[in-house]
Every structure is written in C-alpha cells, then in structure tokens.
Structure 1
Amino acid sequence: MIDLHTHTVFSDGELIPAELVRRAEVIGYKAICMTDHADEATMYHSLENVLRFVKKHGHFYDINVLAGVELTHVAPALIGEMVVAARKSGAQVVVMHGETPVEPVAPGTNLAAIEAGVDILAHPGLITEEEVKLAAEKGVALEITTRGGHSYTNGHVAAMARKFGAKLVVNNDAHAPRDLVGQDLRRTIALGAGLTPEEYRQTEANAWEIVQRCMK
C-alpha cells in the first residue's frame, strides 16, 4: 500500500509527522507522502518543516517517507507558478486539490492543474473528457479517494480514466488516524468504484512509479 496524499498538524491534520508515519508503517504501508494544504501564505513554512523531518528522521522507519504539498483553493490563473514554486522549494510530490463535489473549488482548477503538470489531481469530481485526455497525455495521475464526500464521484473518475487511458492512484487523504484504511477496505473502495482487481493492482504500480521517481 502507498498513500501519496496525507495531512499533518501543519495544515488541518490531527497528527504530527512522526505519528502519522509510524501509524502508516504499522498498518502496512510501504510509502507515504505528507501533503499539507498549501497556498502562497502557508506552503513554504509547512514544506520546510516536513522536509526537515523527512531528511533527519525518515530513514528510521521501514517505509519510504516523502514530503509534498496539496495546493488548495489556489486561483486557477496562479496554479502554474505555484507548482513551479513548490518544486523549487523541495516538494517531492505536488498534489492539486481538485474540483470535489463537496467543496467550492473554483471552476478551471482541474484543467489548470493538469496543464501545470502536477503529479496527482486529487478528488477531481466530475472531471471532463477533455481534462482526462490531457491528464493521460501529460502523465498526471487521477485520484480514487477513500475519504467520505470526496469519494462520491470515484465511479465517474474510474470510468473516465479507463476510457481515455489516464493513470489512477488510490489515496486516503488522511487527516486523522481513522483515515488510514487497511488493505481490505482500500481494495473494496477501489473495486466499488468500478475498478477490476487488475486495475486496482495497477493503481499501486502507478503510485510506486511516483515514489521511485522521487527517490532518485
């Protein structure tokens, strides 16, 4: 299991990085990325602190530990420059908070994030055919989420990704200990979204590909 979308106390998560990583390790995850909510005001502070933890403490765990960001409610016109700034600041994984059906995300966020080349477009809601085609072309992974509310459109995302050959990953969007689901529930949610067992296995391969890219 790999989770590339989690939150700590540096945004709205309940756990400090050390506890989040330890809990994920015990459950059986092989890689985790801390991706706190970020905009221009918060990104540099939170990323600096999480990076310091990853560099000094990450190798003490039997799990690959990564530092990233989830750009959240950023104006679409500014997403491109924020992605560049995040990478320059050391973010190993850049996630974009997509157009979920349960939050007032600005229209155009999905498209701007894909055009900017984020690694993962989180809970993209009723993503359009044109956006999924572009995600497939640019190698942007679309998220199947285990998180309540955001997961309402998992089936749509899965069907569109299959139709146009876009990559999928499964993430928890964990904010609290209870959000780190185990292997059985994780697989059930993916299959419930319409994925086949083979497609579910491919989501883990897609996530591992991102991890390997980060570790180089």
Structure 2
Amino acid sequence: MYDLHTHTICSDGELLPIELVRRCAVLGYRTVAITDHADSTNTARLIDELRPVQESARKYGVEVLVGVELTHVPPSEIPLLARTAKQRGADIVVVHGETTIEPVAPGTNQAACTCEYVDVLAHPGLISLEDARSAAAMGIALEITARGGHNRTNGHVLLMAREAGCVVTVDSDAHAPSDLMTAGARKAVALGAGMTEAECREALSLDIKRFLHRI
C-alpha cells in the first residue's frame, strides 16, 4: 500500500512526521509521501527538515518519500518551484490542483501537467481533457482523493484519466489520524470514483519506484 499525499504539523496537519509513519505502518502501508503545503517561502526548509525521518521510518518498514505540495502558488511559478524542490532533493512533487472547493488560480492544472518536475496533480477538479493528455505525455499522475470536498469530482477525473491514458493514484490527502485509509477504504474510494475491479488493482498496487522514474 502507498499514499502519495499526506500532511504533518510541518504545515496544517495534526501529526508529527514519525507518528504519521507509525500509524501508516500499522495500517499496512509500505510507501508514504509526506507532502506538506509549500510555496517559495518554505520549500527548501520542508525538504531539509523531513530527511531525518526517513531512517526512523525504515525501522517501521515504511519508505518515506520526502516531498512538497505546491499550494496556491501562481501558475507561472510552478515550473521553477518544482525544479527547485527536485534540485533540493525532493523525491516527489505534488501540485494542489484546481479543486472546485477552493479558489485555486486558473491555469494551475495546465502548468502542473506540462512540468517535467511534477509527479502528481492532486484533486484536479474539473480538469480538461487537454490537460489530462498533457499529464499523460509527461508521465504525471492524476489523483483520486479521499479528502472530503475535493473528492466531489473524482468521477470526472477518472473519466479524463481514462480517455487520456493517465496514471491514476489513490491518496488520502491526510491531515488527521482519521483521514488515513485502511485497505478496504482505499478500494471503496477507487470503486466510488467509478473504477472497474481491474482498474482498482492497477491503481492500488502501483509500482511507486517505477512510476517515480526520477528517483
């Protein structure tokens, strides 16, 4: 099991990084990306602060991917910030997509889907087929999310991902202990988005190292 989108007290989450890891280990996760909210003020700090937790996480049998979620930044800044994060040592860069419940700047999805340094576009709302095709061409995953509100458009996201041939991830966007999903809950989110059983198996057992080919 994996989760490529989680938050800790390093931004607006409730858990210390190692507590998040421990709770994930108990639930059966083997790969967890810690992707706290980032902009130009804290991207480097977040990456540097999270490095020490990777060794602690291995003692619980969990591989931690150090990452950031670029959040509400002007679309024109996404390529530079994503590149900066990778150069600083981030394993994964997530972009906070154009969810329908927040005032994310128009053009954010397009900027993310055309950026070689972005790995996952989180909760992309009513993403266009053109942007989904760009994501597919770049190897960027579209997220099916468990997060309340953001998950309203999961069905649409899956349809666009299907037509464009995108990789799809199923993530929690966890901010609190109760947000972390069991294996059954992950499958329910996937099926609820409209996935077939075959699509569920593919998405829920994604080979993360192969997907994150930049690692």
TM-score between the two structures when normalised by the length of structure 2: 0.95
Q: Per-residue displacement from partner, 1:19-63 (whole Å, max 9, x unpaired)?
A: 000000001111101000000111111221111222x42321212
Farther off after superposition, 203-212 or 11-20: 203-212
Match of 1:15 in 2: 15
Match of 1:68 in 2: 67
Match of 2:200 in 1: 200
Distance 2:29 2:90 in 1: 21
Distance 1:158 1:192 in 2: 11
- Pick closer, same or farther for the CA change 1:12–1:207 going to 2, 3 Å: farther
Q: Which has the higher helix share?
A: 1
The secondary structure found in structure 1 opposite 2:61 is coil
Q: Which amino acid aligns with 1:108?
A: G
Match of 2:58 in 1: 59
Cα deviation for residue 207 of structure 1 reads 5.2
Cα deviation for residue 144 of structure 1 reads 0.1
Report whether the alignment pairs 1:128 with 2:128: yes
Match of 1:139 in 2: 139
TM-score between the two structures when normalised by the length of structure 1: 0.95
- Equivalent pairs: percent with the same residue? 49
Q: Which runs of 5 or more structure 2 residues have no equivalent in the other structure? A: none
Distance 2:164 2:35 in 1: 27
The secondary structure found in structure 2 opposite 1:202 is helix
Distance 1:180 1:140 in 2: 23
Distance 1:202 1:209 in 2: 15
Q: CA-atom RMSD, angstroms? A: 1.4
Deviating runs (4+, > 6 A) in structure 1?
Answer: none
Distance 2:145 2:207 in 1: 13
The equivalences for 1:178-197 within 5 A come to: 178-197=178-197
The equivalences for 1:10-89 within 5 A come to: 10-54=10-54, 56-89=55-88
The number of residue pairs the alignment matches comes to 214
Report whether the alignment pairs 1:100 with 2:99: yes
Farther off after superposition, 169-178 or 60-69: 60-69
Q: Which runs of 5 or more structure 1 residues have no equivalent in the other structure? A: none
Distance 1:179 1:211 in 2: 24
The secondary structure found in structure 1 opposite 2:103 is coil
CA contact (8 A) 2:2 2:32 kept: yes
